[in-house]
Structure 1
Amino acid sequence: MISNRSLQWVSGLSSLQYLDLSDADLSKATDWLKVTFEHPSLLELHLSACNLEDDPSPISVNSTKSLVVLNLSENNFSSVPMSIFGLHGLVSIDLSGNSLEGPILDYFRNIPFLEVLDLSRNSLNSPTPNSLFSLNHLQFLNLSSNEIDQDISEILLSLSRCCLDCLESLDMAHNDLFGHLVDQLGHFKNLAHLSLAGNNISGPIPLSIGELSSLKFFDVSENQLNGTFPLCFGQLESLETLNLGFNLLEGVVSETHFSNLTRLTTLEASQNRLRFEPNSSWIPPFQCRIIKLSQWHLGPKFPRWLKFQKNLSVLDISEAGNSGILPTWLLNLSTQFEYVNLSWNQLTGGISYLNVREIVDLRSNRFTGPLPRVFPTLQYLILSNNLFSGPLFELICNSLREGPMECLAIERNLLSGEIPDCWNHWRGLGYLNLENNNLTGKIPPSLGHLNLLVLNLRNNGMFGELPSTLQLSTSLIMLDLSDNHFSGSVPAGIGDKLSKLEILSLRSNNFDGHIPQKICQLQSLRILDLGHNNISGAIPKCFSNLSAMANKGNQNTYMFQWSSISTNNFFCLRALLVLKGRQDVYSTILGLVTSICFSTNRLIGEIPKELGSLVELRSLNVSRNLLIGNIPDEIGNMKLMESLDLSMNQLTGEIPSSFSNLNFLNHFNVSYNNLIGQIPTSTQLQSFGNLSYMGNHLYGPPLTKNRSTNRTPTDVANNGSRSEGSNVNWLYVSIVLGFVMGFSGVVAPLFYIRSWRHAYYRKLDHIGRKLYMSLGYYG
């Protein structure tokens, strides 16, 4: 067992040449530096992420020591350990991911054979000494994530005065130094690898980039570079990888930009505002394996030059303005396609077969016809928001599977028929979204045998009771069956078996019975929507056990874990929720939403005061039920509440004064109850209009000024219709007059005029016969 207090045991290994203790906690090993740096035979030392800190008593190391590779990355150093500079034989130093600050020490000149220096992800902020550039054998220099404030031109002029014939890679990522850097790059004739990715670098790409004749790898993605795509890229004959993605480049790209790039294998420049419309007869000089040009303007015709890319494995030309029928040569181009993304274009026509091994994303086009057959190893199939029609049977039942399909997303199409009962060979499926189609029938039992994480069948025409096998999907984190015609009771097994469930939406169906008590066992539940059903009974008091809605800071959700890992960043979870009085789609912030909706059912009894313990709840809607009693004062404990709807019940009493704690409310409705008294003042409640309070016996801002001392609740109920000293209740007078007028104008003629009465009855009989025949036909 490795001691975390001492590394003295290393001294006894006299022939040791390689030592890697990365990720071990050595925060209490105060002798780590002396033991390792003075070891007679050690060649490589890796102590990454060991919680090492500055050594207050540096040692003096003999220059004959053999250490050549030193990795002290991801520790807590605030300055470079001085003892390093006695190790004259070092070839590689990695101090990335520390807290280094101040100057880069002048002692680096004592390490003449240094080839790799990584000082990335630190806080260095003072001038770089000229001695750094006397490293004649330097092959890799990384100053990324620092805050060096010296003029980079001065640094690079010093570099140009030294002989860095072996320099192959220069990484100054996370510094805003790009413009000055490239102006001097002509001095580095052997530079082969340049990465400045993931910074806040701005300004145009300098023309002097074309002087790097040996450059093979160039990556400035995820910055804020603007201007045009320089023509000088056409001079880089050795270039193999070019990545300009996620910047602000704009303008026209021509064939000249690629004229000499015969070795190019990777072209990534997505998320820019560039236009490329080469001559229709243009044949590229390169054979790329990866092409990603998302959000370029490549249309309106589909890019014909792609036909000549015989080695293409990854293609992303999404949001590229392409329209028309997808050419047949594309999917017959290669048997090596791994990933194809043609989403968010205007492509039309049918697709019979998708010859892609792993990922296909064709969402948001206008593809028609039946669903395509797919390659047996396909893992992700995303066909959302198209015009595909017909049944699911051919895809689900007759597709040969050689590997697990992880994601099947065909929502917002025109699919019809029943969901087939042949899912046994789809055991690896984790995400199934068929919402917004025309599917009918019941949920097939075999669907419940899958290890699904997400099942979304919202807004179809499905019916019947939920199959008991659905409770076998114990990995489910999202179950959305809303807007269908499902019936029966809400299965108690959902709460008993689906312990990871975070989203449960059964909204707008025909479910009846009571809310099962076992739903309270869903410790991870964050969104519960049972609105618009026929559910009766009382709201269970045990809802206080829903810990994901009760415990502050509970953000370690299965939803977030699956979205970041299983979906591989191709899309994220989305759900249609009714919050704040409107229906919206939530996706990127879905994991932060907590909501309960029981609206439009037949719930009775009082609102349980135990709901007040759900302090993380953002939205509560129990409107349009038969709830009685007072509003629990404990609801005022739900200080993060943004939407609260208690309208159209039979609630009595006053609005609790504790509602003054609800400072985040932006939707509030208690209309059409039997509430009385003054609306609590100096609270968020004054920001809502009259519609939030109408149909009650309330007063005070925002409705009226405070009532006068001689008015009673009955006076408030009359809303001022009865003036002081008057005994006439004009409401009753108007009712009587309305009855008299209605009787004399409609009922009386039918009673006294025989011909009118017969004609009226004949008409009613005719309507009844038509209605009976219609019901009999469709029944």
Structure 2
Amino acid sequence: MRSTSVILVRFLSIIATLLAISLCNGNTGVPCKDNERRALLMFKQELHDSSNRLSSWVGHGEGDCCTWLGVVCGNLTGHVRELHLGNYYLGGKLNPSLLNLSSLNYLDLSNNDFDGILIPNFFGSLTSLRHLDLSQANFQGIIPHQLGNLSSLRYLDLHGNYFEVNNLQWISGLSMLQHLDLSGVNLSKASDSIQETNMASNSLLEYLDMSDCRLRRIPGGIANMASLRVLNLSRNSINSTIPKWLYSLSHLESLFLSDNGLYGEISTSIGNLTAIVNLDVSHNQLWGEIPNSFENLCKLMFLDLSWNLVSGRASEIFQSLSRCTSSQLESISLSNSISGPIPKSIQNLSLLKILDISNNSMKGDVTEVHFTNLSRLQELFANENSLTLKTCREWLPPFQLHVLFLDSWNLGPELPSWLQRQKYLEQLSISNTGISGTIPIWFWNFSYLGLSFVDLSGNQLYGQVPRIVTAPSAVIDLSSNKFTGSLPLVSATVAVLDLSNSSFSGSIFHFFCDRMDESKQMTSLYLRNNHLTGEIPECWMNWKNLIVINLDNNHLTGNIPSTIGDLIFLQSLQLRNNHLSGEVSLSLQKCRNLIVVDLGENDFVGSIPTWIGKSLSQLMVLVLRSNKLHGDIPRELCRLVKVQILDLANNDLVGAVPTCFSNFKAMTNVSERSYTMSNSFFRLHGTYLDNVILMRKFNPAFGVGRFGVTALDLSLNNISGEIPEELTSLVNLQLLDLSNNLLTGRIPSKMGGMEGLEYLDMSKNQLSGGIPLSMSNLTFLNHFNVAYNNLTGPIPKSTQLQSFDASSFIGTKLCGPPLRENCSTDAEKPGGSRT
């Protein structure tokens, strides 16, 4: 019996091998038809075959096209039935000679590059097609309605192109369709037709993907797709409740509705989806408690309800999820407003691999008992809760984690010793967890542990840090501790290193200049708020991958080294509050990708370099405040059209405010500002705003976490002349400080049009006339000061201006609230002068 089974297995293996060979080269033993061979050669002629994948497509005489790569013929007829041309790096045009392949039922042109051409209309005449895959092939334009003629089509994939659709009526012609992927197709113009389309004819559809399609509503026709197993409508703009009919799709196995505007309470009817395996409704505005009907979802393996307004107690939620004795749950994500302790019933979810309960309001103790049966757990995200881990020092966890995030837990006072036994740990984040003392020697060999991400920030760790050895492209954050001594040497494999807010001291020479034979992978380096001394060395040649350098708030001296110009990828250079001197280094003009330059609060001398405006055209933040710079503000700075924060305060600058500051597009156009901020350094490396000194002028909560802030600070200089009228075109400017200068003339009458202003200070100048009436439109002001000027007349009446203290107007001849001095009846209107 055993020998018979072995022979059968071997026989089936041989058959499978022969079939595989047949599918690869199309050789069936029956030669292809002459007209079909010629058709394929014509098709090849107009293609760009850059990788020469179609080199076997040759021969005008006796060549057998069934042996060509990517061609599959019928076993008995020799007719070409399938073309497998995906991932062939093809381009060019698509010849209609394919119409001569009368038996063609499978066409795959995916993952090629057709350079934005349209789908040819003749595709709608390939009426034998059952499978059409044009995904990721760089087509664009309108999807031809002729595709609706492919009544035999079972599989259609158009995702990853640049398509638009005016209506979807043609889909109703695809009555045999089982798989439809339109993800990424722009369906915004087809919104109404989607509702009207008779999708009842698509009752065989099992897979439907309309993610990233700019949908504003869930298409009602989906209700008729009784066979649907996979539905993906994620990343659209659907602003509605989840329709009740969705819960009647009894065959549904995967439902993806994330990143929409869905709202309303999670319905108990969700328990009707008893076939569901994957459920993702994350990043919406669903609210209420998780219904008990979840206990009916016994096939559920993947559940993501995170980033909604879901509430409730953790005990009830996990009891509901674990009540099904045959629970298949492998992944749970519940980042919401869940409260209470984690129940011990969580151990019943013995198949769990991923558990994300981060960013909740959970409290209480977590012990060994909670993890008793979680031997398959690989990723645990439980950060930002008020939980306490209470395990004995000898505890041997039943799991081997790859990822562990326990930020803001109470783990202290010691680093958990059981971490040493986690053999596969790749990411560890335990910031702000009350750990103190020195770090044990075994922990420092990150490379041996396999760690590529380590965050121990915000603890009470002290002592010296030895040499850091890591896995490739590692991210290490040891900031906000109490480490002392000199900076540690790091292996070339470190990509991001943050040693900020500690007590490292001494020279930085060895850190940068030792082991000069190594080419560093590091992209981001944060050493701010330490006690580092000495000059910045000329050792930047092997640090050419750096994108971010932050040495703020140390005791560094000397000039900016010339070799810093070798850092051609540098986007952010922050050297604020040191004792650096000399002129601003000419070498910086080589760093043409700079977005942030902060040299404030140093001892730099000379004039503002004109090359900043010419060479650093990508700058969004330029801070030169509190130095010893002199001379005029160069007009070349007006070329910085992307600048959002320009701070030249507290220098010895003279001359007039350049009228060409009106070129700052990010301060004049809100869409320009939003675009540059959201697609730049700021989202990649965190907000810079918290570190800019001028942000302290705002309301304390202003700069935290905000993108797109715009600010212009020229205060504490010797700038003279009038405030240029052109400055009022900066309608999206939020901070404007011109105080402590020698400005004369009137306040521009259109300044009230700068409706984005939240901070405005023109105090301690020589301004005359009155406050323009238009300034009553400044409804967002939280700081306003025109004190110590030659201003006259009544203060315009507005909610904002009257809300400020009288000190904002002291030292002037203004009258009216909030000043005690009443305006005389013969006083002129605001903006004029008093007699």
CA deviation vs aligned residue, 1:419-438 (integer Å, no higher than 9, x gap):
11111111111111111111
**Partners of 1:710 and 1:293 in 2: how far apart?**
66
Matched, 1:43 2:155: yes
**Equivalent residue, structure 2, for 1:253:** 366
**CA-CA distance at 1:119 after TM superposition:** 5.1
AA at the equivalent of 2:321: I
Q: Which runs of 5+ in 2 are unaligned?
A: 1-92, 94-115
Which of residues 120, 134, 138 in structure 2 aligns to 1:20? 134
**Partners of 2:696 and 2:594 in 1: how far apart?**
27
Which of residues 436, 442, 465 in structure 2 aligns to 1:351? 465
Report which stretch shifted further, 273-282 or 219-228. Answer: 219-228
Larger radius of gyration: 1
CA deviation vs aligned residue, 1:204-242 (integer Å, no higher than 9, x gap):
323143346553522223222223212122223322222
Report which stretch shifted further, 582-591 or 516-525. Answer: 582-591
CA deviation vs aligned residue, 1:362-386 (integer Å, no higher than 9, x gap):
1111111111121212111111111
**CA-CA distance at 1:610 after TM superposition:** 2.7
CA deviation vs aligned residue, 1:440-469 (integer Å, no higher than 9, x gap):
111111113313211111111111111111
**Partners of 1:710 and 1:229 in 2: how far apart?**
70
How does 1:382-397 map onto structure 2 within 5 Å? 382-397=498-513
Cα distance change, pair 572–271 in 1 and its aligned pair in 2 (3 A):
farther
**Equivalent residue, structure 2, for 1:196:** 305
**Partners of 2:549 and 2:269 in 1: how far apart?**
58
Q: Give the match's secondary structure for 2:694.
A: strand
Which of residues 671, 675, 678 in structure 2 aligns to 1:553? 671
Report which stretch shifted further, 459-468 or 49-58. Answer: 49-58
**Partners of 2:261 and 2:120 in 1: how far apart?**
32
Matched, 1:270 2:386: no
How does 1:235-634 map onto structure 2 within 5 Å? 235-332=348-445, 334-357=448-471, 358-399=474-515, 401-451=518-568, 452-563=570-681, 566-567=684-685, 574-578=690-694, 587-588=703-704, 591-634=707-750
**Partners of 2:178 and 2:305 in 1: how far apart?**
27
AA at the equivalent of 1:92: Y
Tell whether the 8 Å contact from 1:488 to 1:510 is kept in structure 2 after alignment: yes
**Partners of 2:599 and 2:702 in 1: how far apart?**
17
**Equivalent residue, structure 1, for 2:22:** none
AA at the equivalent of 1:218: S
Q: Give the match's secondary structure for 2:335.
A: coil
**CA-CA distance at 1:675 after TM superposition:** 3.1
Matched, 1:225 2:334: no
**CA-CA distance at 1:312 after TM superposition:** 1.1
**Partners of 1:551 and 1:418 in 2: how far apart?**
41
Cα distance change, pair 700–148 in 1 and its aligned pair in 2 (3 A):
closer
Which of residues 760, 780, 793 in structure 2 aligns to 1:644? 760
Tell whether the 8 Å contact from 2:149 to 2:174 is kept in structure 1 after alignment: no
**Partners of 1:420 and 1:534 in 2: how far apart?**
29
AA at the equivalent of 1:434: L
Tell whether the 8 Å contact from 1:572 to 1:587 is kept in structure 2 after alignment: no
**Equivalent residue, structure 2, for 1:206:** 318
**Partners of 2:152 and 2:702 in 1: how far apart?**
58
Could you tell me the TM-score, scaled by structure 2's length? 0.75
Matched, 1:676 2:792: yes
Tell whether the 8 Å contact from 2:524 to 2:546 is kept in structure 1 after alignment: yes
AA at the equivalent of 2:291: H
Which of residues 273, 285, 290 in structure 2 aligns to 1:179? 290
**Partners of 2:247 and 2:813 in 1: how far apart?**
82
**Partners of 1:398 and 1:356 in 2: how far apart?**
17
Which of residues 758, 769, 788 in structure 2 aligns to 1:653? 769
How does 1:744-755 map onto structure 2 within 5 Å? none
**CA-CA distance at 1:202 after TM superposition:** 1.9
Could you tell me the TM-score, scaled by structure 1's length? 0.80
**CA-CA distance at 1:301 after TM superposition:** 2.0
Matched, 1:688 2:801: no
Q: Give the match's secondary structure for 2:510.
A: helix
**CA-CA distance at 1:81 after TM superposition:** 8.2
Tell whether the 8 Å contact from 2:306 to 2:335 is kept in structure 1 after alignment: yes
Q: Give the match's secondary structure for 1:330.
A: helix
**Partners of 2:174 and 2:224 in 1: how far apart?**
14
Q: Give the match's secondary structure for 1:602.
A: coil
**Partners of 2:538 and 2:552 in 1: how far apart?**
18
Cα distance change, pair 220–384 in 1 and its aligned pair in 2 (3 A):
same
Cα distance change, pair 520–35 in 1 and its aligned pair in 2 (3 A):
same
**Partners of 1:238 and 1:116 in 2: how far apart?**
23
Tell whether the 8 Å contact from 1:678 to 1:698 is kept in structure 2 after alignment: yes
Aligned CA RMSD, in angstroms, stands at 3.5
**Partners of 2:749 and 2:224 in 1: how far apart?**
69
**Equivalent residue, structure 1, for 2:49:** none
Tell whether the 8 Å contact from 1:277 to 1:299 is kept in structure 2 after alignment: no
AA at the equivalent of 1:442: N
Q: Which runs of 5+ in 1 are unaligned?
A: 719-779
**Partners of 2:287 and 2:795 in 1: how far apart?**
56
AA at the equivalent of 1:206: F
Report which stretch shifted further, 489-498 or 232-241. Answer: 232-241
AA at the equivalent of 1:29: P
**Partners of 2:449 and 2:758 in 1: how far apart?**
53
Q: Give the match's secondary structure for 1:9.
A: helix
Cα distance change, pair 243–655 in 1 and its aligned pair in 2 (3 A):
closer
**Partners of 1:199 and 1:590 in 2: how far apart?**
21
**Equivalent residue, structure 2, for 1:69:** 179
**Partners of 2:121 and 2:135 in 1: how far apart?**
11
Q: Give the match's secondary structure for 1:249.
A: strand
Tell whether the 8 Å contact from 1:213 to 1:236 is kept in structure 2 after alignment: no
**CA-CA distance at 1:580 after TM superposition:** 8.2
CA deviation vs aligned residue, 1:720-741 (integer Å, no higher than 9, x gap):
xxxxxxxxxxxxxxxxxxxxxx
CA deviation vs aligned residue, 1:586-640 (integer Å, no higher than 9, x gap):
7555543222222222223333333233222222222222333333334344333
Tell whether the 8 Å contact from 1:512 to 1:533 is kept in structure 2 after alignment: yes
**Partners of 1:362 and 1:433 in 2: how far apart?**
15
**Partners of 2:394 and 2:204 in 1: how far apart?**
57
**Partners of 2:645 and 2:273 in 1: how far apart?**
59
Tell whether the 8 Å contact from 2:596 to 2:620 is kept in structure 1 after alignment: yes
How does 1:157-176 map onto structure 2 within 5 Å? 158=272, 168-171=277-280, 173=282
**Partners of 1:634 and 1:476 in 2: how far apart?**
34
Cα distance change, pair 68–178 in 1 and its aligned pair in 2 (3 A):
farther
Q: Give the match's secondary structure for 1:543.
A: helix
**Partners of 1:564 and 1:689 in 2: how far apart?**
35
What is the percentage of aligned positions where both structures have the same residue?
36
Tell whether the 8 Å contact from 2:203 to 2:225 is kept in structure 1 after alignment: no
Q: Give the match's secondary structure for 2:480.
A: coil
CA deviation vs aligned residue, 1:695-744 (integer Å, no higher than 9, x gap):
23333433311237699xxxx999xxxxxxxxxxxxxxxxxxxxxxxxxx
Cα distance change, pair 640–546 in 1 and its aligned pair in 2 (3 A):
same
Cα distance change, pair 563–226 in 1 and its aligned pair in 2 (3 A):
farther
**CA-CA distance at 1:31 after TM superposition:** 3.9
**CA-CA distance at 1:159 after TM superposition:** 5.4
**CA-CA distance at 1:54 after TM superposition:** 5.5
